[in-house]
Amino acid sequence: MSIAHKPLPHKPLPHDAAALHVTGAARYVDDIPTPANTLHIAFGLSEIAAGTISVMDLSAVRAARGVVAVMTADDLPFANDVSPSVHDEPLLSDGSVHYIGQPLFAVIATSHLAARKAARLAKVRYEAVAPILTIEEALAAGSRFEEGPRIYTKGDATSAINTAAHVIDGTLDMGGQEHFYLEGQAALALPQEGGDMVVHSSTQHPTEIQHKVAEAIGAPMHAVRVEIRRMGGGFGGKESQGNALAVICAVAARATGRPCKMRYDRDDDMTITGKRHDFRITYRAGFDADGRISGIEFGQYTRCGWAQDLSLPVADRAMLHADNAYFIPNIRIESHRLRTNMQSATAYRGFGGPQGVFGIERVMDHGAHVIGLDPIEIRRRNYYAPAAAKAEQTTPYGQVVEDCILHEMTEALLKTSDYAARRDAVAKWNASHPTIKRGIGFSPVKFGISFTLTHLNQAGALVHVYQDGSVHLNHGGTEMGQGLFQKVAQVAAARFGLQMDAIKITATDTGKVPNTSATAASSGSDLNGMAVKIACDTIRGRISTHLAARHDCTPQEVTFVDGMVTAGRAAMPFAAAAKSAYEARISLSATGFYATPKLAWDRIKGQGRPFFYFAYGAAVTEVAIDTLTGENRILRADIVHDAGESLNPALDIGQIEGGYVQGAGWLTCEELVWDDKGALKTHAPSTYKIPAVSDRPDVFNVALWDAPNREETIYRSKAVGEPPFMLGISAFLALSDAVAACGDAYPALDAPATPERIWATIERLRDEG
């Protein structure tokens, strides 16, 4: 069936708020009308990367026009901590300074501008020490999180490599990535009677905001209610990085008795908040004569910044994706989580997975070059066996891969992308064009779905049916543009046999559904869709039992289709069924709760089943580079991606297109630069280049694989938020392929492959002959 004509719940409907977005009526936190006495907050920021504060003279700040109050750590009444993990992240400096941009004090003023201007008037003197900035410096100083490197092993990698027919080794540096959510971080705290607090926060994790605010105002969690209708993009950057704004707003609101609001100016946002972890990956790999991997040793080194934040699970996930799509009989992965005097690196779409995948894709690319195999062929020889083979192949962490569909997907993609002919055409072009070189690249993805912290794999929902048959829908997931709310509403409509306009989507609210997990790890629709289904089915069951007794049938025979409820010979509109149940004193409100099954994971041993299932995808990208300048362009991208039986093909394709472009951006034009003092020099879109409309591929073909998930997920769909991000790696590999046309050696290109880096790599290749 064409995806354009699928019925609910698999219908390709527009985003639920599309009409609000195109008319400017959709409200973000900064758009919420505020009471007239609302105050505005700005942080004063550290100007050195490491040391202690010797003198902080804030008299000029306090005297500035519009300033109502100034707060330092000493003014915080309760917890001074905004860490999502190990309480190592003070909201305001406790006297020590760990990075340039760290909040030292907060200014509370009558306007956003007044607060920001006053914050610049502080006179701060520091006792500076030498910052730890590079991987080498961190290793030399033993500056790391956890006691030492985390190591996962399977088999005997060293012996396998030493006896292999082909051995390669190398190092790959990859940069971090600024989230650049279009809506910057924002929060608004509204003090209530009796010390309660209502917080509007642009957050992927309202429960975490509630938790940190409660700690900071010395109240139980029941005294704090957090609400978020939508974010203007998140990408992981609003999983923990909104804590500071929400907490200072609540603390200041408690202190002043007035509503307090904060939004980071873009420059402050980029200076203060954490980004994707950059990685250095070292590798030594052995292949047999046919190009099958016999063993790999990986070293993964990541700069986590000054606080732990989510770095441990990020680095774990990089290890868990060091195999990507390939069966590796012998492997050793050594992961170093380094503490550096920079922004605290945080969650970003893929959560370490892309870094791990990029490492093994480099190994495959390098191996193909050395052995002389087609880069796709070497990959296919190493893929996990197809599901039907029942080969019981395990990942490096002992999970059996039961669902590999990459063989079929790759076959389909090779045809639709006309790969073989285009590869020949690229070779012909390069043989006759000395300046403009072309390249073609392929990369697959296998991405593990579930939070690796197993207890986070739970979700709740709250559904009300009113006596007029309209439905109020709420769950713990947050909307950041991915279309979660619409997909979950489609589930609710399908369960009740209703049209979409009968379902009211409502803001995420900690007062409605408690103890939620972040909307992260691509898990939003898997978890919340299931919880909503369970809640809807509870109400449906009650209505069915009620009508079955009246109309002489079994509850199982009652149907909910096309707005009608049929029981025995009686058929009535859903509203009439709801009214009938209401009048019979039957509850039309229910909660739903879902916990992902089959998970068992020991992160210290590196053994178990951390993932419910895997999502798959593959991409072919063709590029052209100018060898005189390194400038480059994506000419064409072809993607086939597995979203299971998609809940909404239109929204899922949107995730794939956007994920690919964001992934390609990470590895091409997006470059974070810190100077030797630890100052981030790329703190605005003028110096940090995210893909623009002209960077989109000239030809962009995206297809869904659209086969049901073998696991029992919501309507057999699959998670789609993060996996397609890794398809952008094919763009990097295409650039590397084009560079390879300039010499005989393997290019060993690092990322991001900016024009400068491409040019320098070409020069090196040519020098090497």
Partner 1 sequence: MSQVTMTVNGKTATGDVEGRTLLVHFLRDELQLTGTHVGCDTSQCGACVVHVDGKAVKSCTMLAAEADGASVETIEAQAADDGTLNVVQQAFQDHHGLQCGFCTPGMVMSATALLKENPKPTEAEIRHYLEGNICRCTGYHNIVKSIMAASGQDVDSIAAEVAAQ
Catalytic residues: 722
Handedness of CA 131, 134, 140, 145 (dihedral sign): positive
∠ CA 295-725-361 to the nearest 5 degrees?
20
Residue 677 or residue 696: which is nearer to partner 1 going by CB?
696
Cα distance between residue 682 and residue 672, in whole Å: 6
Beta-carbon count within 10 A of 543 CB: 25
Cα distance between residue 524 and residue 349, in whole Å: 13
Handedness of CA 394, 399, 404, 407 (dihedral sign): negative
Residue 410 or residue 736: which is nearer to partner 1 going by CB?
410
DSSP 326: B
Pattern 136-165, binding to partner 1, x per CB under 8 A? Answer: ------------------------------
CA distances from 736 to 170, 611, 640, 665, 757 (A): 15, 32, 22, 15, 11
DSSP 28: P
Beta-carbon count within 10 A of 65 CB: 10
Cis amide prior to 752 (ω within 30 degrees): yes
Residue 400 or residue 684: which is nearer to partner 1 going by CB?
684
133 binds partner 1 (CB under 8 A): no
Identify whether the C-beta of residue 245 lies closer than 8 Å to the C-beta of residue 185: yes
Residue 19 or residue 165: which is nearer to partner 1 going by CB?
19
- What is the closest distance, in whole angstroms, from the C-beta atom of residue 232 to partner 1 in the complex? 3
Residue 56 or residue 707: which is nearer to partner 1 going by CB?
707
DSSP 234: -
435 binds partner 1 (CB under 8 A): no
Residue 396 or residue 658: which is nearer to partner 1 going by CB?
658
3-state secondary structure (DSSP) of residue 24? coil
- What is the closest distance, in whole angstroms, from the C-beta atom of residue 111 to partner 1 in the complex? 9
Backbone angles phi, psi at 414, to 5 degrees: -60, -40
Residues 242-301 binding partner 1 (CB under 8 A) are 265-267
Contact region for partner 1 (CB under 8 A) — 132-140, 229-237, 383-391, 496-504?
229-237
Residues 314-373 binding partner 1 (CB under 8 A) are none
Residues 57-116 binding partner 1 (CB under 8 A) are none
198 binds partner 1 (CB under 8 A): no
Which candidate, 64, 203, 185, places its Cα nearest to that of 121? 64
Which candidate, 111, 47, 453, 449, places its Cα nearest to that of 265? 111
Q: Which amino acid is at 230?
A: R
Cα distance between residue 247 and residue 245, in whole Å: 5
Which candidate, 643, 663, 645, places its Cα nearest to that of 653? 643
Residue 17 or residue 281: which is nearer to partner 1 going by CB?
17
Contact region for partner 1 (CB under 8 A) — 131-139, 230-238, 357-365, 547-555?
230-238
Identify whether the C-beta of residue 180 lies closer than 8 Å to the C-beta of residue 232: no
Helices (H), 11-156: 18-23, 59-63, 112-119, 135-141
- What is the closest distance, in whole angstroms, from the C-beta atom of residue 634 to partner 1 in the complex? 11
Cα distance between residue 539 and residue 465, in whole Å: 8
Question: Which residues touch 422 (CB under 8 Å, ≥6 apart)?
Answer: 440, 622
764 binds partner 1 (CB under 8 A): no
658 binds partner 1 (CB under 8 A): yes
Residues 479-508 binding partner 1 (CB under 8 A) are 480-483
23 binds partner 1 (CB under 8 A): yes
Work out which of 17, 168, 520, 521 binds partner 1, going by CB under 8 A.
17
Cα distance between residue 665 and residue 694, in whole Å: 12
Contact region for partner 1 (CB under 8 A) — 22-30, 50-58, 87-95, 323-331?
22-30
Residue 432 or residue 694: which is nearer to partner 1 going by CB?
694
- What is the closest distance, in whole angstroms, from the C-beta atom of residue 322 to partner 1 in the complex? 27
Residue 227 or residue 323: which is nearer to partner 1 going by CB?
227
The residue with tokens 């002919």 is 421
Pattern 628-657, binding to partner 1, x per CB under 8 A? Answer: ------------x--------xxx-xx--x
Handedness of CA 191, 196, 200, 205 (dihedral sign): positive
Cα distance between residue 231 and residue 27, in whole Å: 9
Residues 166-185 binding partner 1 (CB under 8 A) are 179-184
702 binds partner 1 (CB under 8 A): yes
- What is the closest distance, in whole angstroms, from the C-beta atom of residue 280 to partner 1 in the complex? 26
Q: Could you tell me how many residues of this chain bind partner 1 (CB under 8 A)? A: 72
231 binds partner 1 (CB under 8 A): yes
Residue 94 or residue 265: which is nearer to partner 1 going by CB?
265
- What is the closest distance, in whole angstroms, from the C-beta atom of residue 197 to partner 1 in the complex? 24
667 binds partner 1 (CB under 8 A): no
Work out which of 85, 158, 282, 416 binds partner 1, going by CB under 8 A.
416
Pattern 703-742, binding to partner 1, x per CB under 8 A? Answer: xxxxx-----------------------------------
The residue with tokens 């804590």 is 243
Residues 380-409 binding partner 1 (CB under 8 A) are 408-409
Work out which of 497, 617, 691, 752 binds partner 1, going by CB under 8 A.
691
